Structure 1
Amino acid sequence: MTEATLTIVATCNGVEVPDAPILGPRMIEAMNNHRYERQEIECGLAVIPKGARILEMGAGAGVVGAVLAKNCAPVSILSIEANPGLLPHINRLYAHNGLQDLISVRHAVVFSAPDAPGTVTFNVAGNFLGSSLTELPGKKTRAVEVPVLRYSDLTKEYPHDTIMMDIEGGELDFLRHADLSGVNLVILEMHRDAYGREGMQEIRNLFLDKGFTLNEEQSKVGVHIWCRLMGPDQG
């Protein structure tokens, strides 16, 4: 499909979304009605400062990252996506909207544990929103091997001050080991079903221990905004 033959099926916060087999009618409708990942997008637009260097963990269809690139005036965005089937569509979306110099996508899974393996099995569902590192009983998925990117290496390769994270329940394990000393802002979708009440409390405690405070005013149901506490000499 060339640029000249692209069919635009949705517009979301100024981002035009080309037709792709990964997009079903309901998803397209949600994008046009600004309901697709609404909480994540609203949180990002509300708090990400101009000039941010953003790491997006879980690119999905590429729309959330593209909206941030178009509207938040970041220096750059690096998106990480485990599902290899999404990458061509994400890149087409970026290119069509003229964002390819601001945002790029990489096929990988980010682990922070020091003993992280070199690759990991990722379970791809028919609807990409249901894909996960965890194999869910009764759910038809296709297993693919995905390269693991160690977070300690990633921070050296791509220093960043902001993280947008939606990794379907993998947030807790990531936070247990991640050194976030260079990060000032984390926006993450919470998956209570994946880690329960105790896991939710552990996430809260991990952020507090790492010097962050919850922005309760601008957080949404299911999406939390954590900001680093600044001293009086830090602005």
Structure 2
Amino acid sequence: MPDEVSDIIWSALRDGSYEAKEARWAVKAARPKDRILELGSGIGVITSLLAAVDGTQVMAFEANPHTVTLAEKVIRANNRNNVELRQGLLTAGPPQDFTFYVREDLWMSSLLEHQGPYLKTIKIQSTNIDEFIRQANIDLIVMDIEGAELDLLKGAELPGVERVFLEFHDHLYGLEGIRHLTSAMADKGFAYDPRGSSGPCVLFSRNTDPRSYEAEDIHAAA
């Protein structure tokens, strides 16, 4: 794999820092037997961790074909047979064609041209996320989609979804974008859940059942 990713990503993988914080909190958002939709699976690290939670079924989407190939290797290496990985794009509203910008650092690839220099572009036709959620009976959505979460969560209904875990990209849309996003989630019945959030890694929950803070959460917040 060293010759398949950038030096920055390979270094992060070797020292264990690659998506470490996001991975920790994403896994905490998952519950046994969850049906999980992951958007922006990257190279499959978090995908594999979510699939390790007892009884889960993970349906993962990644727009970049090359990244999907790497993720398949990681998922196989971790012996996860409860993952469905697809190359594609889920968005709010009817299917439409999008331009996806592929960058040297895979985690920077996105739908946003202004995010920085890119190596190439690919055309992708989207699938309606709400239709997929209804068909797959999704409980939890985990997403890291480099800023596209703003438009997606403003426009989608998210029928039946209990929890949404995401990483804010406020450097792309500012605090005003976060305000619009959190307001849209509140309109759908979701609340910011501090028990599953840390910095830009944020959990939104519909479930109102009381949950106690775990000791490790209190220690992390101190």
Q: RMSD between aligned alpha carbons?
A: 1.9
Q: Which moved more, 1:210-219 or 1:56-65?
A: 210-219
Q: What SS does structure 1 have at the residue aligned with 2:18?
A: coil
User: Distance in 2 between the 1:223 and 1:74 partners?
Assistant: 24
1:85 aligns with 2:74: no
Q: What SS does structure 1 have at the residue aligned with 2:134?
A: helix
User: Distance in 2 between the 1:127 and 1:22 partners?
Assistant: 11
- Preserved CA contact (<8 Å) 1:163 1:185: yes
Map 1:1-235 to 2 at 5 A.
19=1, 21-70=3-52, 72-99=53-80, 101-114=81-94, 116-117=95-96, 119-136=97-114, 139-230=117-208
Offset of 1:25 from its aligned partner?
4.0
Q: Deviations over 1:13-34 (max 9, x none)?
A: xxxxxx2533334423323433
Higher strand share: 1
Gaps (5+ residues) in structure 1?
Answer: 1-18
**Would the alpha carbon gap of residues 140 and 181 (structure 1) be closer, same or farther in structure 2, given more than 3 Å must change?**
closer
User: Distance in 1 between the 2:116 and 2:165 partners?
Assistant: 31
Q: Deviations over 1:150-208 (max 9, x none)?
A: 11321233221100011110011111121123111111010002211111001111111
Offset of 1:56 from its aligned partner?
0.3
Q: Which moved more, 1:46-55 or 1:162-171?
A: 46-55
**Would the alpha carbon gap of residues 29 and 218 (structure 1) be closer, same or farther in structure 2, given more than 3 Å must change?**
same
Higher helix share: 2
- Preserved CA contact (<8 Å) 1:40 1:187: no
Q: Which amino acid aligns with 2:135?
A: E
- Preserved CA contact (<8 Å) 2:50 2:56: no
Offset of 1:220 from its aligned partner?
1.3
Offset of 1:138 from its aligned partner?
5.6
Q: Which moved more, 1:128-137 or 1:54-63?
A: 128-137
User: Distance in 2 between the 1:156 and 1:217 partners?
Assistant: 27
Q: Which amino acid aligns with 1:89?
A: L
- Preserved CA contact (<8 Å) 2:169 2:200: yes
Number of aligned residue pairs: give it.
Answer: 210
